[in-house]
Structures are given as structure tokens and as C-alpha cells.
């Protein structure tokens, strides 16, 4: 008997090479069983099975992908499920577009994480910057104390003599170069501060007068000391804010990389959104709009 012939009359379902083929009886049984396999029927079963394409789709990610990048797998699947529930894709093409949307949004999240990581690295050296800034402020504080002591001595001298030295402005400027340009400004502040102490009949002459009286000179010195103290507080605040806020904006290198990465991702996101909308409108028998061709500057 030939090797390729059935061994007996009842074995017609055996093909050449002894490869078994389902008998008619088996085929009928399979068809009957298939009628009983209708898939999940409960709401919970349908909810579980509707995401099968997500776990094994063209753009599905493996556990190793999340492990390598140190990313949260559950967070990604929550994002994908949220998009899936919102867009309700039907058919393989729509499902793939929703997966592309999830991939793009996840990439944008990566860009944000990259920017934050760069900022954290920069801020890690802020202690040294604060130390340098504190040293600078301490040096300026010593200079401020020297200015204030010089002004207080001049004020005490004027009060003791009850008259203003002829070279008052020159002596004030000699205490500190910063005080020279401030002379006229300080005098205006002093006169405005003393307005309530001048009789109304003399107010006009007092404000227009170029004469520096003892009262005006003393008030000018008081105003100068106040300005020096205020500037010291501002300097300290600015130093701390600069140390922290200079890292709130990425460096030019990081910013350029982020702009290019996000622009490419957003182009792909917009294209996928447009394709998904076209597919769903065509499926629903609606007018298919022309595709969106976004342009992003890089």
C-alpha cells in the first residue's frame, strides 16, 4: 500500500503525508461549539475584553519598556483607557489612531519630565550660589554700615552746631559716592516729609527754596539712612530670588531641544487626531472634512 494512501476505507480524512484533516463530523461539531462561544456577555467581561487590542496592538508597549525608562505602566494605561473611552474607536484603523494619540500625549509628558529634571539638576547647586550671594551681601552690608556711621556723625555735628556747614553736600558725597547723585532727590523727599511742619503761609517758599536749613539737612540724612537700609533688604531678597528663579526658564540648549521635540510630537498628534476624525465621520456617513495640516515653527 502506498505511503500516501489512507490505511483503510474509513480514513479518507487523512491527507498525503499522514497530515490529519478534520472529518465532516468534526467540522459539524466545531460549528455547533462556535455558536455557543459568543464572547463576554456581562458588562464586566465586555469592559475587560474591549481593551485586548490595546495590550497586544501595533503600538502596544511591553513591561520592559516602562521598566527601562522608569515610567509608571498603570499611569500609561489609565491615559490610554481614558482616550479609548472618550473616542470610542470602532475597527482596527480607529483603534490604531487612538493608540498613536496616547503615544503622543505620553511623549509630551516625557518632555515635561525632561524639563523638570534639568531644573532639578540646576537647582541642586543652588547652595553654592546662595553662599556666594550671601558673601556679596555681607560685603555690601559692611559698606552700608560705614555709610550710615558717616551720616550719623554728620547729623550729630549739625545738631550740635545748630547750623549747616557750607560744604554740606560735598561732605555728604564724600562719605559715599552713592550719595552724591541722590542729593537732590533726598532734599525733595525731606521737604515733602516736612510739609506738615511748615505753616501754610510759608509752604510755597519752603518748597521752592534752595536754602538747606538745619531741619532740612537733618531730614535729608534721615532719609538717606532709610534708603540705604531699604536697599539692603531689597538686595538680600533679589539675591535669593535670582538664585532660585534663574532656573525657572530652561537654558537655551535645553529649550531648543524641547521645542523641536514637542513640535514634532504635536505634528504627529494633530495628524492622528485628524485621521481619527475622518475615519469616524466616514463610518457614521457624515461629510469627511479635508485633513488638517498643522504647521509648527521649529
Tell me, yes or no, whether 130 and 241 share the same domain: yes
φ/ψ of residue 14, rounded to 5: -90, 125
Residue 77 sits at the vertex; the CA angle it makes with 75 and 82, to the nearest 5 degrees, is 95
- Residue 255 lies inside a defined structural domain of this protein: yes
> Of the given ranges (6-10, 142-146, 274-278), which has the lowest mean pLDDT?
6-10
Domain of 254, in residue numbers: 45-124+250-298
Give me the pLDDT at residue 11, please: 47
42-51, 175-184, 241-250, range with the lowest pLDDT: 42-51
Same domain, 172 and 232: yes
Give the chain's mean pLDDT: 77
- Whether residue 198 is contained in a domain is answered as yes
pLDDT confidence of residue 15: 45
What is the CA angle 188-191-194, rounded to 5?
Answer: 150
* Cell numbers for 249: 526658564
Question: Which distant-in-sequence residues (6+ apart) come within 8 Å of 92 by Cβ?
Answer: 53
Under 8 Å between Cβ of 131 and 105: no
- The verdict on 264 and 222 lying in the same domain is no
Nearest-angstrom CA–CA distance, 22 and 24: 7
C-alpha to C-alpha distance for 238 and 245, rounded to whole angstroms: 10
Same domain, 254 and 116: yes
Q: 166 and 186 share a domain?
A: yes
Q: Is the dihedral of CA 78, 84, 87, 93 positive or negative?
A: positive
Is residue 204 located within the same domain as residue 263?
Answer: no
Please check whether residue 204 lies inside any domain of the structure: yes
| 87 and 222 part of one domain | no
pLDDT in tens, 256-266: 999 999 999 99
How many domains are contained in the chain? 2
Q: What's the CA angle centered on 89, arms 86 and 94, to 5 degrees?
A: 125
236 plus 210 within the same structural domain: yes
Question: 20 by DSSP, 3-state: which?
Answer: strand
Check residue 279 and give its pLDDT.
93
| pLDDT attached to residue 287 | 86
17's torsion region: left (phi>0), alpha (psi -120 to 50) or beta?
left
Q: Is 22 a domain residue?
A: no
Region 182-210: mean pLDDT is 65
pLDDT at 14 over 80: no
- If asked whether residues 238 and 131 sit together in one domain, one would say yes
Tell me which of 205, 227, 245 is where a domain ends.
245
For residue 232, being part of any structural domain is answered with yes
Q: Is the pLDDT of residue 9 over 50?
A: no
Whether residue 203 is found in the same domain as residue 99: no
Whether 37 maps to a domain, the answer reads no
Residues 75 and 133 grouped into a single domain:
no
The pLDDT of residue 86 is 94
Residue 254 and residue 118 in one domain? yes
In this prediction, residue 298 carries a pLDDT of 45
**Mean predicted confidence (pLDDT) in 166-177:** 82
* High-pLDDT (> 90) share of the chain, %: 23
Overall pTM surpassing 0.75 (yes/no)? no
Mean pLDDT for the stretch of residues 177-194: 73
- Alpha-carbon distance of 230 to 237, in angstroms, equals 11
Q: For residues 298 and 112, which has the higher predicted lDDT (pLDDT)? A: 112
- Summarize pLDDT for 212-228 with one digit per residue, the tens: 778 888 888 888 888 88
Amino acid 41: pLDDT = 58
Confirm whether 9 is domain-assigned: no
Between 250 and 105, residue with greater pLDDT: 105
Stronger pLDDT, 18 or 237, i.e. the higher one:
237
Residue 28: predicted pLDDT: 75
Q: Which residue has the higher pLDDT, 143 or 183?
A: 143
How crowded is residue 288: how many other Cβ atoms within 10 Å of its Cβ? 12
In a domain, 67, yes or no: yes
Please name which of 206, 204, 158 lies closest in space to residue 169, comparing C-alpha atoms.
158
Amino acid at each position: 500500500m502506498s505511503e500516501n494512501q489512507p490505511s483503510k476505507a474509513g480514513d479518507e480524512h487523512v491527507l498525503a503525508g499522514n497530515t490529519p484533516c478534520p472529518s465532516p463530523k468534526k467540522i459539524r461539531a466545531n460549528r455547533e461549539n462556535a455558536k455557543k462561544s459568543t464572547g463576554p456577555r456581562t458588562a464586566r467581561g465586555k469592559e475587560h475584553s474591549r481593551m485586548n487590542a490595546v495590550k497586544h496592538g501595533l503600538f502596544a508597549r511591553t513591561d520592559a519598556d516602562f521598566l527601562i525608562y522608569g515610567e509608571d505602566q498603570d499611569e500609561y494605561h489609565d491615559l490610554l483607557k481614558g482616550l479609548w473611552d472618550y473616542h470610542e474607536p470602532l475597527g482596527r484603523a480607529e483603534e490604531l489612531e487612538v493608540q498613536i494619540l496616547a503615544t503622543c500625549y505620553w511623549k509630551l509628558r516625557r518632555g515635561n519630565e525632561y524639563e523638570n529634571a534639568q531644573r532639578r539638576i540646576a537647582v541642586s547647586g543652588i547652595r553654592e550660589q546662595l553662599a556666594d550671594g550671601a558673601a556679596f551681601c555681607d560685603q555690601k552690608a559692611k559698606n552700608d554700615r560705614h555709610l550710615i556711621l558717616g551720616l550719623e556723625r554728620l547729623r550729630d555735628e549739625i545738631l550740635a552746631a545748630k547750623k549747616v556747614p557750607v560744604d554740606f553736600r560735598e561732605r555728604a558725597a564724600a562719605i559715599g559716592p552713592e550719595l552724591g547723585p541722590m542729593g537732590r532727590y533726598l532734599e525733595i523727599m525731606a521737604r515733602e516729609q516736612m510739609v506738615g511742619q511748615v505753616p501754610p503761609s510759608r509752604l510755597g517758599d519752603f518748597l521752592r527754596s534752595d536754602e538747606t536749613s538745619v531741619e532740612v539737612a537733618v531730614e535729608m540724612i534721615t532719609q538717606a539712612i532709610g534708603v540705604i537700609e531699604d536697599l539692603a533688604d531689597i538686595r538680600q531678597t533679589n539675591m535669593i530670588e535670582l538664585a532660585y528663579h534663574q532656573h525657572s526658564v530652561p537654558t537655551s540648549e535645553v529649550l531648543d531641544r524641547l521645542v523641536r521635540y514637542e513640535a514634532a510630537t504635536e505634528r504627529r498628534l494633530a495628524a492622528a487626531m485628524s485621521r481619527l476624525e475622518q475615519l469616524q465621520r466616514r463610518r457614521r456617513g457624515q461629510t469627511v472634512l479635508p485633513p488638517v495640516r498643522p504647521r509648527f515653527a521649529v
